[in-house]
Every structure is written in C-alpha cells, then in structure tokens.
Copies of this chain bind each other. A is one copy, B any other.
Amino acid sequence: MISGISAAAGAPVRQASLRQHNLRLVLGQVASGAPLSRADIAAATGLTRATVSTLVDDLVSGRLLREVSPTPRGGAGRPGVGLVLNDADGPAGLGLEINVDYLAACVLDLAGAVRHREIRPGDRRGVEPSAVLAEAAALASRAALAAEDQGLTIAGTAMAVPGLVSPDGTIRLAPNLGWRDVDTSGFTPGPLTGPLTVENEANLAALGELFHGEPGLSSFLYVSGEIGIGAGIVLTGSLFRGARGWSGELGHVAVDPDGPACRCGAHGCLEQYAGQEALLPPGVSLADLVAAADRGERPALDRLTSAASALGVTIAGVINLLDVDTVVLGGVYAPLARWLSPGIEQQIASRVLTAGWSPVRVRPARLGSDAAVVGAAGAIIRAVHDEPAAWLLPASAGTP
C-alpha cells in the first residue's frame, strides 16, 4: 500500500485535494498536543514554512485555529506564536440521544471539552415518535443557544437512536421504542443546530470511547447494555458499520437456538439472557442491583452470573470472528462490570481459539451512560478535523 493515498482512489490527485489533505494535516498536528508554532508544524509535516503559513492563515481566519502568546521553549531559536485549536469562538458539535428511558443533549468544542449537557429521564416506550422528536428538538435548541452564549457555532448535530438507521436517516426499526420506519428527513432540531445526521447509539457510543475514553484504544468491541443490547465495532481507529450500515445487532445473536422467545420473533437471543429486563426484575433499579450485589445477595449475584455467561459465549463468538483485543462494557454493564467481567473472561478463555497467546481485555466504558451523546457530538467535531476545507468554505462565506 502506498502511504498517504488510498488504494481505492479512482481519481488523479489534483491541486484542490492536495490543499484539503494538507489543511487536515496541519490541523491534525495542532490537535495532537501542546501549542505549536508554524516552524514546529513545518518540521513535523515536511511541508515548507511558506506552505504551512498559508494553510495556518486559512485555518485561523476560518476559526479552526487560534493564536496564543508565544511561550519560551527549551530548544534553539526564537519562540514562534503558538497555535491551538479554537475552543473560544470556533465550531462545536451537538450530540443528541433518544433512548428508551431518557433523552440527552451535549455540546463539545473543537478541543473535545464538554461545554453543555442536559439529560431528561423518563420512559418513552409507546410515546408517539413525533412527540419524542419534538422533545429532542427542544433539548437541541437549548443546547445550541447555550453554545451561542459561549461564542461557539454548532457545525452540525448527530442524533443517537437505539435502532437500525438507513443511510437516508430513516429509523427502520427501534424494537424497544416500538418504532418502525420513522422518517427523520424532515426533522430539523432547531435554527442553530446545523445539518442533522442520525446514527445507531452503540456506534456513536463506541466512537465516544474511541475519542474520549481510554487513550490508545484502537480496536475494540463496545457492548451497549440498555433495554436492548447493541454493539459498536471499532477496528484500528475506525467505526465498522457493516456492508449496509446495520452492523452490531449483538442482542439478537443466538445464545441457545432453542431458548426463550424474543421480541424480534426468534428464539434464544442474547437480550433474553442479558438485557436489562433479564437483569432487573420489575421494581428493581440498577442502583438496587448494584447494592444487592455489593451485599453479596445470592439472587442478584445469580442473575449477574447467568448474564455474564451468556454475554461471554456471544462475545467469544465475536472475537473468534473479528479478532479484537478489547471488550468495552457500556450502558448498564459499565457499573456492573465488576461482577460481569470474570464470567465473560472465563468464556473467552475457554472458547476463543487464539486466547492462549493473544489476550483479550474486558473493561468498563470510561464515559458510562454518556458515551453515546458524547460520541455523537464528537463525531461532528471529528468530521471537522477530517475535512477542515468543508468547514472553511461556509464559515468564510458567512462571517466577516
């Protein structure tokens, strides 16, 4: 493979895409750490100082970078003006989440800091999709106003939903909300929220862990324990969406083909063994389960052991297939990881063909239940980092 150019590329490399590439390269250098001068960037990228200066000027006037006072450096030469990501009046990402038992919104700035957050608990099962979307729109509008108050401009909104989303934004199926074929193409959360993308919550939560979780995490299976069970698959730093965008339906992988009937029509799906309803009998909250397990109460521990065993069998199958080295337990599984991990690890050790020489780590999500909404906002920020030229164009046209 030739470095720096995709093998799938079908077009000759021209001047315009060179500039896009190099803008991304310069922005990426600044994003990777401490304030850098133009000379630092030239040295790190191999571009000439003149080229770097032009690119930096474009990024500063487009409000992606800002200049800070020069700080004395250890090395030779005079200190240059420092450049940092523009978290003062640059673009921001708006994350929105619709889930079965809560709605959430959050705003991240270009440097990845959370600048606003709101969560509204409450069961949405059986509520009309239009009513839930209206509530989400109100949440998004408040978030966009909060961002504006801080000088930030929302570059776009990503909305996480617990279901299968078509490339055109239609929510084809969200079994636990009871939604089917909900068209979101006409849905605009608010006047300040930018373009909307809709995405599966486990996928966005996996991105949240990738960008804002444990540093160095690169290939992992994110297991999202909500009312349903979803999975986000990240491979060498990229979200794996499947051939048609509907990957990760871990909750409907069979644990025992002759097991109990599932809402989806099949039998023995993982959700029947390890979904929230299997873990939490009526009237028992997640906090109750944690407290009971902490006290060592047998029924609570038995439910956790049985869920861990089913999760472990299924996750071992995924590792045999996909060969990831880390499993991240998210959603309700994060606070339960202490009790679930040993049973999962035991199944991996006995069922994964490579387990003997190629260890697999099981660990709780860093972001906990925030992963999807933070991942959603982070996906918007990531898109600006990946394609700064696309942001510069409207920004320089629309602002003085």
Could you tell me which A residues sit within 8 Å of B by CB distance? Answer: 1-13, 17-18, 20-22, 24-25, 28, 45-47, 164, 172-173, 175, 218-219, 231, 233, 235-237, 240-250, 252-258, 264-266, 269, 309, 313-314, 316-318, 320-325, 350-354, 357-358, 386-387, 389
Residue of B47, B313, B322 touching A242 (CB-CB under 8 A): B322
Q: Is the CB of B252 within 8 A of A353?
A: yes
B249 near A243: Cβ-Cβ < 8 Å: no
For A354, the chain B residues whose CB sits under 8 A away are 164, 172-173, 244, 246, 249
Give the shortest distance, in Å, between A120 (CB) and chain B (any CB): 28
- A250 touching B9, Cβ below 8 Å: no
Contact residues in B for A172 (Cβ distance below 8 Å): 354, 357
Considering the complex, give the chain B residue whose CB is closest to the CB of A249: B320
Residues on the B chain within 8 Å of A235, using CB: 242-243
Smallest CB gap from A242: residue in B: B323
Q: Is the interface of A mostly helix, strand, loop or mixed?
A: loop
* Neighbouring B residues of A231 by C-beta, 8 Å: 321
Given A243-B236, A325-B243, are A249 and B353 neighbors across the interface (CB < 8 Å)? yes
Q: Which chain B positions have C-beta within 8 A of A316?
A: 253-254
Q: Which 8 A-B pairs have the closest CB atoms?
A: A242-B323, A219-B243, A6-B6, A249-B320, A253-B317, A4-B9, A246-B323, A4-B11
Q: So how many copies of this chain end up in the complex?
A: 2
Q: Are A12 and B321 in contact (CB under 8 A)?
A: no
- A249 to B11 alpha-carbon distance, docked (Å): 36
A240→B321 CA distance, assembly (Å): 10
Q: Establish whether residues B25 and A247, one from each chain, have CB atoms under 8 Å apart when the complex forms.
A: no
Q: How far is the CA of A322 from the CA of B250 in the complex (A)?
A: 10
What distance in Å separates the Cβ of A241 from its nearest Cβ neighbour in chain B?
8
Asked whether, in the complex, the Cβ of A11 is within 8 Å of the Cβ of B22, the reply is no
Chain B minimum-CB-distance residue to A265: B350
User: In the docked arrangement, what's the CA distance between A364 and B46, Å?
Assistant: 51
Residue among A9, A17, A240, A316 with max Cβ neighbours from chain B (10 Å): A9
B contact residues around A13 at 8 Å (CB): 4-5, 13, 18, 21-22
When distances are taken between beta carbons in the complex, the residues of chain B under 8 Å from A12 are 4, 21-22, 25, 45-47
* Chain B: CB-nearest residue to A47: B12
- A244:B325 contact, CB within 8 angstroms: yes
B7 contacts A3, C-beta separation under 8 Å: no
How long is the Cα–Cα vector from A10 to B24 in the complex, in angstroms? 9
A320 to B236, CA, bound (A): 21
Min CB gap A362→B, angstroms: 15
Bound Cα distance from A245 to B353, whole angstroms? 13
In the complex, are the beta carbons of A351 and B9 less than 8 A apart? no
Most chain B beta-carbon contacts within 10 A, residue among A175, A249, A250: A249
Report the minimum CB–CB distance from A349 to chain B (whole Å). Answer: 10
Q: Determine how close the nearest CB of chain B comes to the CB of A23; give it in whole angstroms.
A: 10
CA distance A317 to B250 in the complex (A): 8
Question: Which residues of B are found within 8 Å of A175, using beta-carbon distances?
Answer: 353
Chain B residue with minimal CB distance to A316?
A: B254
Q: Is the CB of B4 within 8 A of A10?
A: yes
Q: Nearest chain B CB to A48's CB is how many angstroms away?
A: 10
| 5 A-B contacts (beta carbon < 8 Å) | A2-B387, A4-B12, A173-B353, A242-B322, A257-B309
> Is the Cβ of B8 less than 8 Å from the Cβ of A21?
no
A247 to B8, CA, bound (A): 22
Closest to A46 in B: B12
Determine the distance from Cα of A219 to Cα of B9 in the docked complex, in whole angstroms: 18
Residues of B within 8 A of A318 (CB): 321
Chain B residues near A320: list those with CB within 8 A.
249-250, 252-253
